[in-house]
Amino acid sequence: MILLSDPRIAAIPGHDNGEALIDLRRVGELRLDPRLADEDGMFARLREGVLDRLLSAQRSLPDGLRLLIVEAYRPPHLQRKYFESYRDELRDTYPDWDEDRLHVEASKYVSPPEVAPHGTGGTVDLTLCTAEGVELDMGTAVNDSPEASANACFTESPSVVGEARRNRDLLSAALRGAGMVNYPTEWWHWSHGDRYWAFTLNASHTRYGPVEIT
């Protein structure tokens, strides 16, 4: 399993094709979950090409199912806050871990800021829901940590079976079919055009680089 802390991820050249960020609040075909909503709607900004892929993925789902978007763009200051907070939490829980291990273990749940996919606008955290907005059983909640879930948040966790496994596989098939890649420690995290996407598909560089929304 390759983590975002792996030096090979940071080594991928970063290019940006200048594609626009779209406000998903204006896209009626997709459902947005308010749990991480901010006043300026940054959580709902996504690159145009990724939006097209999500719409394609949603069209491939069985009747009555929808994608439920939890978070797309994340500003750099928030990414740093999340990463450092989780790393510090691990430090308190595992005082014998050195700084290198803390960095690696933290990257299973929150990306190191220097390679953060959400900051490119090419990454989205999402799940499946019914047409009425009721979330499907995916084995864990969105954003469950490895510690809290005993690693059941890992996409291919063997502890996730039955209906939850079928739902995860359904989500994965739809998104992979639309050209998205998954971060394997987080079943809800999918991206296109970022460094992890480039590494996974052996692309020479990214399509999307970090963006600042002011």
Say whether 214 sits in a helix, a strand or coil: coil
Tens-place pLDDT, residues 170-193: 999 999 999 999 999 999 999 999
Q: 83-117 burial by CB neighbour count: b if 16+ within 10 A, else e?
A: beebbeebeeeeeeeeeeebbebbbbbbbbbbbbb
Pairwise CA distance, residues 57 & 176, whole Å:
8
Give percent above pLDDT 90 in the chain: 93
Tens-place pLDDT, residues 62-75: 999 999 999 999 99
Average pLDDT, the chain: 96
pLDDT reported for residue 214? 67
What torsion do the CA atoms of 106, 111, 114, 115 make, to the nearest 10 degrees? 130
Burial class (CB in 10 A: 0-12, 13-18, 19+), 18: exposed
Contact indicator for 86, 110 with CB cutoff of 8 Å:
yes
126 backbone dihedrals φ, ψ, rounded to 5°: -155, 170
Residues 34, 40, 46, 52, CA torsion sign: positive
Pairwise CA distance, residues 45 & 121, whole Å:
7
CA 100 to chain centre: 23
Region 28-52 average pLDDT: 95
* pTM of the shown model: 0.94
